[in-house]
Amino acid sequence: MLVSHVGSFPLDPSPGIEEKILEDLYRIGVDVPPYPQLRSFIDIYLEPLANIGLLEKKGDFYYSNIDKLLETEPPRLKVPEAELSIRIVREKKLGFKGLRAPVTGPYTLASRVYFDDPEKGLRATMVSKPIVVKTFFVEYVRWFVEYMRDLGYNTIFIDEPILGVIVGKRRILYKHTVDSIIENLEKLYSMKGETNIGGIHVCGRISDKLFEILSQVKGLHLLNFEFKDSPENINVVSYELLEKYDKILAPGVASAKRPVVESVDEISALLEKIYELTRGRIDYVSADCGFGGLKGAFDNPYRAYEVGLRKLENIVRAVRKISK
């Protein structure tokens, strides 16, 4: 079993900070680190669209016109921190077993772009328009999957927290369908010469229906959900589906919300339970989510960062304990 991390850290961007984080992750034994996300996982992918005039940013909100997005070919943009991290790993000769690229998914990005009053909630966002999701956002994100692969990231996770909201136990919102979700997600990994390991991360509670849908998506090998802050998720995990569709569960086993370091024994107990349920079909063990949510837990952000590191270090120890 390998240990990974979802992406974010509770620190602000500053010169040399990515290098420090990557060296710390190597020191504590994380096998497959992400490029450190020190900006919002939404801003990383939407701000570039605002910079070229496809979106308008007002405060914390992004706006656009439905027809404008439908009539525009998605641009091919870059992620500076992803490129910087690759250079650091190579120059410092950090011998990780792999590199993880967190890419914010099309549904989640669409859910943060408004065409109407934000007070109307999700129905005022592009995620309520399946044609916009398919035509613009899927193509936009598909480019980043290929781009990250070409940079040198061998594991690419689509971060789609909004899918836990859209796909309920009994119904799917905004005329999205099982088939359309599978088709859109499969398209993200449909580039030629595919060599990366594909994964998807959905934080929060998930439904049986969502687990079944994601299990069927070709190209997604790793299913990453949280089990510490959402222990009820263990009830939707199906070994039969994992085996049928050849999927691996990537479990989150430490809280990304509480600034308390779980003990190795506590993490091991949860990991053993998941291991038995899946009959060993687990890998890329991580915390529930990124550690951006720990920001503000302490007066000094470095204290929050140290808590996150200690969580990851104990996950490494728990995985080694289980592996033995």
Q: Tally Cβ neighbours within 10 Å of residue 276.
A: 10
Tokens standing for residue 64:
């656009």
How many angstroms separate the CA atoms of 224 and 299, rounded? 31
Query: How confident is the model at residue 250, as a pLDDT?
Result: 98
| Residue 23, number of CB atoms within 10 A of its CB | 13
Query: 275 φ, ψ to 5°?
Result: -60, -45
pLDDT given for residue 192 in this prediction: 62
Predicted confidence at residue 196, as pLDDT, reads: 73
Query: What pLDDT score was predicted for residue 194?
Result: 62
CATH number of the domain located at residue range(s) 17-323 in this protein: 3.20.20.210
d(CA 234, CA 174): 27
DSSP annotation of 180 reads H
Residue 311 contacts residue 262 (beta carbons within 8 Å): yes
Is the full-model pTM beyond 0.85?
A: yes
pLDDT per residue as tens, the chain (324 positions): 999 999 999 999 999 999 999 999 999 999 999 999 999 999 999 999 999 999 999 988 999 999 999 999 999 999 999 999 999 999 999 999 999 999 999 999 999 999 999 999 999 999 999 999 999 999 999 999 999 999 999 999 999 999 999 999 989 999 999 999 999 999 998 866 666 789 999 999 999 999 999 999 999 999 999 999 999 999 999 999 999 999 999 999 999 999 999 999 999 999 999 999 999 999 999 999 999 999 989 999 999 999 999 999 999 999 999 987
Among 59, 55, 37, residue whose Cα is nearest residue 46: 55
Domain ranges of the chain: 17-323
